[in-house]
Structure 1
Amino acid sequence: MPKKFIRRFLPDHEKVKNLRALRVFGTILHDPNLWHLNRRSAAGGFSIGLFFAFWPVPFQMWLAAAVAIPFRANLPLSVATVWITNPFTMPPIFYGAYKVGSTVLGTTPGHFNFQFSWQWVVDSVSTIGPAFLVGCGICSVVFATVGYVGLNWLWRIQVRRAWQRRSAQRQATES
């Protein structure tokens, strides 16, 4: 069942609430809906995390947490899902977003040599920036939607299978 699988990786909410760094949020983190793991909150948290994973900005986890709180989505899941884009997966994911953006805008993807400098970033904003940002926007919406629908669907299938298993066990014990 997805609930048992997801719960293995989530931290204890009492420990998280008592972290000194999170005291700035006050009692807002004490809402049980932010920590409860059900179909709606898990799908929402997963979707929010996927949405912000494709944003090329720092502090993606803070953004995901800030949106998960008013939507009452699972907070740890939304923050953890952002880590789909980590230093190892970011280059291929963002290159794919650039390709999507250049396809949508109808521009030919240009060849560029990456340089680890601020000047390269400033120069690239005018050349590859529009296609990259459009691609990131499209990918974030598409993957968030697919993630929400997919996890919702997977959750329902697992619940249905559990019901069928329990029903078969009851019938076997009655016979």
Structure 2
Amino acid sequence: MPKQFFHKWLPSSEKVASIKFMRIFGQQTLNPLLWYVNRHSIAKAMFIGTFWGILPVPFHSLFIILTVLWFEVNLPIGLCMAWLTNPFTVVPILYLGFWFGTKIYHVNMINKEMLLGVLHQIVNWIKNFGHGHIDFSLAKILVSGLVIEAILFAIIFYVLTHVIWRFLVIRSWKKRTKYQKEETA
């Protein structure tokens, strides 16, 4: 059953609450609802962690913790999903976000000349100590696409968690009934 897997795998509330960063939240991290393992709590934590994990915001773990505390869902699962954005996944996440953004704004994907123009603007902006012009139209496209991507993948992970959990429970029931029938026979 998935519940036993998560109970075995997840750290204790005292262990997580003792982490320096978590101390700023005080006793709230010891709330039993944040450690409860059921299909709904895990699925909601997957949604929250995936949404904030995909968005390129600084300190996304802080946003995950605040959202998890607000909705009282599984804290460790939500925090684990923050690892979605890492050096291996950041390029595909950004590329897909930009692709979604281009579909929203009906523009062509970025080409070499556009990229060099943006890099030139950034270099000039740095050379002039923050004075100068930067075209933020690409940033608007990227951020819009990343929000859509974050919502889409959060929904996908939420639904997948429910479907996989349900499948594993049904499989476990079938194995148990089969085993019980063999014992009685």
Is the TM value for this pair above 0.5?
Answer: yes
- Once the two structures are superposed, residues 3-47 of structure 1 have per-residue CA deviations (whole angstroms, 9 ceiling, x without a partner) of 344455432222112334322212111111101211111101111
**Structure 2 CA distance for partners of 1:125 and 1:50, relative to 1, 3 Å:** farther
Task: Give the aligned partner of residue 119 of structure 1.
Answer: 122
Task: Give the aligned partner of residue 102 of structure 1.
Answer: 102
Task: Give the aligned partner of residue 168 of structure 2.
Answer: 158
**Structure 2 CA distance for partners of 1:110 and 1:174, relative to 1, 3 Å:** same
Give the drift of 1:103: 1.2
1:78-89 paired onto structure 2 within 5 Å = 78-89=78-89
Query: TM-score, normalised to structure 2's length?
Result: 0.84
C-alpha distance in 1, partners of 2:23/2:92?
Answer: 36
Q: How many residues align?
A: 174
The answer to whether 1:60 aligns with 2:60 is yes
C-alpha distance in 1, partners of 2:70/2:170?
Answer: 30
1:68-79 paired onto structure 2 within 5 Å = 68-79=68-79
**Structure 2 CA distance for partners of 1:158 and 1:113, relative to 1, 3 Å:** farther
Amino acid at match of 1:83: W
> What SS does structure 2 have at the residue aligned with 1:128?
helix
**Structure 2 CA distance for partners of 1:48 and 1:161, relative to 1, 3 Å:** same
C-alpha distance in 1, partners of 2:120/2:110?
Answer: 19
Task: Give the aligned partner of residue 148 of structure 1.
Answer: 158
Amino acid at match of 2:146: C
> What SS does structure 2 have at the residue aligned with 1:11?
coil
The answer to whether 1:174 aligns with 2:176 is no
Query: TM-score, normalised to structure 1's length?
Result: 0.88
C-alpha distance in 2, partners of 1:157/1:92?
Answer: 30
**Structure 2 CA distance for partners of 1:96 and 1:18, relative to 1, 3 Å:** same
**Structure 2 CA distance for partners of 1:139 and 1:124, relative to 1, 3 Å:** farther
- Once the two structures are superposed, residues 65-114 of structure 1 have per-residue CA deviations (whole angstroms, 9 ceiling, x without a partner) of 11011111111110111111112210121111101111121011222149
When structure 1 is superposed on structure 2, of 83-92 and 122-131 the one drifting more is 122-131
C-alpha distance in 1, partners of 2:14/2:161?
Answer: 26
When structure 1 is superposed on structure 2, of 134-143 and 1-10 the one drifting more is 1-10
The answer to whether 1:25 aligns with 2:25 is yes
C-alpha distance in 1, partners of 2:13/2:121?
Answer: 39
Query: Considering only CA atoms, is the larger Rg found in Structure 1 or Structure 2?
Result: 2
Q: Where do 5+ consecutive residues of structure 2 fail to align?
A: 126-132
Amino acid at match of 1:119: I
